Structure formats: C-alpha cells, structure tokens
Amino acid sequence: MSDLSAFSLAGKRILVTGANTGIGQGIAVSIARAGGAVIGVGRSSMDDTASKVASAGGQFEAVSADLADTAAAGPMLDRIWDESGPLDGLVNNAGIIRRADAVDLSETDWDDVMDVNLKTVFLLCQSFARRALAEGRRGKIVHIASVLSFQGGIRVASYTASKHGVLGITRLLACEWAAKGINVNAIAPG
C-alpha cells in the first residue's frame, strides 16, 4: 500500500489532464499512492495509467476528451462533478508543442498550442472554481508550466508563449482565489 503518514490525499478526488503518459501518468500514480482517487482526462487510451494506479492501490476513472476543443472543457468538468461527485483538486498537465522557426510557424499551429496549453487551462480552472465556490468547498489547482515559462527557447514560439501565460494565470488566480479557499500553484519541469 502507500505511506499516508507523510502526505495524504485520502478521500480526495483529483482530476488530472493528460494522464495517459509521462508527467501526467506519474502524477496520477503519485496521487493514488497518497490515497487519492484519480479522474484521468486524455484523448488516447489511459489503460496503462489505470493499471499503474490500481497497482498503487488507487481508484482511477478515465474520461476521454480532446482538450483542443476549448468549448467542451468546462462542460466536461461540470459533467464529471455532476455525475460522480465534487472534485478536490485539478492538475492541468495536458499540453502540446509545435516546432518551427518563428518566421515559419503557422497561425494554425500557434492557435492549436494556445488553445490546449493556455485557453483550456483557464477554462478548466474557471469551471472548477465556479463549482467549488458555489458549494463553499476548498480546492487545489496545480498547473504544469515549464522552464520555458522563464526562458525564451528556440523554435517553440507558441509553446513558450503559452507556458509564460500559464505562469501568469497561475499568479493571477493564486492572488484572486487564495482568500476564497482555492490554492493555485505551478510546477515548472525542464
């Protein structure tokens, strides 16, 4: 089982976007090890994550969603809240990258990255906070930013801009919602 004495998420339900591989999968498994239930959101199979969460003794619910569809992000969170109960946390991990010299990056590639990496992040936060505040619930939001939230990078203009935006929206929401019981932070792997 897990060592819940150091850090416990027992009884907590946490939504993790991009939970199918990489950092998102690692976060999902870590939540399970700490006793939390994971709602994984992704556009591809999360069977491997579900298996790893189960091996860690946790509960996993897979939700198939394409977070590039920004209009569906908030309603998806609302549906999860309505159908399976309130959420205690939100981890905005899903992201995409498009590589090209800045002079060659298409507007479509710019928009695609901004939609997934920044717009959907904000809309999920907004939906989470609306629900939590309406019910007088406390909550935690963690964004996965990047070292490129602080640096320029090369050939990743839209990704770098989106991750700068994630850092900015993290700071804004942390200031705006802290007194209302919603804690907002970011991690910047790199």
23 burial level (CB within 10 Å; 0-12, 13-18, 19+): middle
Catalytic residue among 89, 159, 165, 177: 159
- Based on the residue annotation, tell me whether 27 is a catalytic residue of this protein: no
- Is residue 122 within 8 A of residue 138, CB to CB? The reply is no
- Is residue 131 within 8 A of residue 78, CB to CB? The reply is yes
Q: What are phi and psi of 38, to 5 degrees?
A: -110, 130
Please give the C-alpha separations between residue 96 and each of 52, 74, 75, 128, in angstroms, as whole numbers.
24, 19, 21, 22
Active site residues: 159
